[in-house]
Amino acid sequence: MLFIRAYWIAFSTILSKEIRRFMRIWQQTLLPPAITMTLYFIIFGNLIGSRIGEMSGLNYMSFIMPGLIMMSVINNAYSNVSSSFFSNKFQRSIEELLVAPVPNSVILAGFVFGGVARGLLTGIIVTVVAVFFTDVQVHNFWVLSSIVLLSSILFSLGGFINALYANKFDDVSIVPTFVLTPLSYLGGVFFSTDLLPEGWRLLSEFNPILYMVNGFRFGMLGVSDVNLVTCYAILISVIVLLTIFSMRLLKRGKGIRS
C-alpha cells in the first residue's frame, strides 16, 4: 500500500506544480479570459443583444452567459495542458518525471487535473464578471457542476494528446485556432439550434461542444436544445475514449521516449 501513498504524493506534486505555473503567469492565463468575456458581454450582450430580443424565452444576455462561461472553461483547460506539457517536452523537464517511479496514469491525471483547475478557476472568474451584466442563476447545481467538470476533463485530455503529438509551438496553437474556436462558435453559444435550417441542425449534433454548452445552460437556466442524458452519455464516452488513447500513447512513449 506504500506505493499508493507515493502515487498520491506524485499526483499532488504534479497538480500543485501545474497550479503554481498558471498562477505565476496569471497575466497570460487568468486575466485574458476575464477581459475577452467582458468584451463579449458588452458587445454581444449589451449593444447587439438588446436589439435581438429573446432567445429560447430568455433575454439574450442571459442566454449567451452559460455558453461564454463554458467557452472559457474548455479553452483554458485545453490550452493549459497542451502548452504546459509541450513546454515540459521542449525544455526536456518531462525527463524529471520519466526517470521517477511515477506511472503513466498518475502523469496523465496530474496534467489533466491541472487543466481542470485552470478551467474551473477561469469559469469562476468569468461568472464573477457576468454578475456585473446579468442576473446569474443556478437552476440545478449538480448538473451545472458535473457538466463543467466533465467538459474540462474532456478538453484537458484533448490538450494532452495535442501536446504529445506536437513537435513545435505552432502545433499547440493549431487545434485551438482551427478546431476549438469554430466548434465553440457553432456550438450554440450565441444562438439556439432551433434557428438553424434542418440540415445544419443535424450537422451541429455532431459537435460535442453543443452538448456541453446546452448541458451547462440547463444547469444554470433550466433550458436546453439537447437531451441531458445524451449530453452525459457523449461526455462520458468521449472521456473514456480519450483516456484510453492517451494511455496507449504514453505506453508507446509517443513524443516523449525515443
Q: What's the Cα-to-Cα distance from 49 to each of 39, 43, 72, 206, rounded to whole Å?
A: 13, 8, 20, 27
Name which position in 53, 101, 197, 199 contacts other proteins (CB under 8 A): 101
Cell representation of residue 32: 485574458
Alpha carbons within 13 angstroms on the beta-carbon side of residue 78 total 22
CA dihedral over 37, 51, 202, 228, signed as positive or negative: positive
Name which position in 19, 34, 98, 196 contacts other proteins (CB under 8 A): 98
Name which position in 39, 43, 96, 236 contacts other proteins (CB under 8 A): 96
Q: 147: closest CA among 49, 50, 214, 82?
A: 214
Q: Toward other proteins, which CB reaches closer, 9 or 47?
A: 9
Q: Toward other proteins, which CB reaches closer, 222 or 253?
A: 253
Q: What's the Cα-to-Cα distance from 177 to each of 70, 130, 171, 211, 252, rounded to whole Å?
A: 17, 25, 10, 20, 28
Q: At 130, phi and psi to the nearest 5?
A: -60, -30
**How far, in Å, CA of 109 to CA of 14, rounded?**
9
Name which position in 10, 65, 164, 235 contacts other proteins (CB under 8 A): 10
* Cα distance from N-terminal residue to C-terminal residue, the chain: 32
Residues 181 and 174: beta-carbon distance below 8 Å: no
Nearest approach, Cβ of residue 200 and other proteins (Å) = 43
Nearest approach, Cβ of residue 26 and other proteins (Å) = 14
Q: Toward other proteins, which CB reaches closer, 248 or 257?
A: 257
Task: Give me the 155-194 binding string for other proteins, x by CB under 8 A, dash otherwise.
Answer: ----------------------------------------
Name which position in 54, 95, 135, 194 contacts other proteins (CB under 8 A): 95
Residue 94 CB neighbour total at 10 angstroms: 19
Q: Toward other proteins, which CB reaches closer, 59 or 105?
A: 105
The interface with other proteins within residues 104-143 (CB under 8 A) comprises none
Nearest approach, Cβ of residue 107 and other proteins (Å) = 10
Position 17 contacts other proteins (CB under 8 A): yes
Nearest approach, Cβ of residue 93 and other proteins (Å) = 5
**How far, in Å, CA of 223 to CA of 14, rounded?**
38
Would you tell me which residues interact with other proteins (CB under 8 A)?
2-3, 5-7, 9-10, 12-14, 17, 20, 24, 88, 91-93, 95-103, 253, 257-258
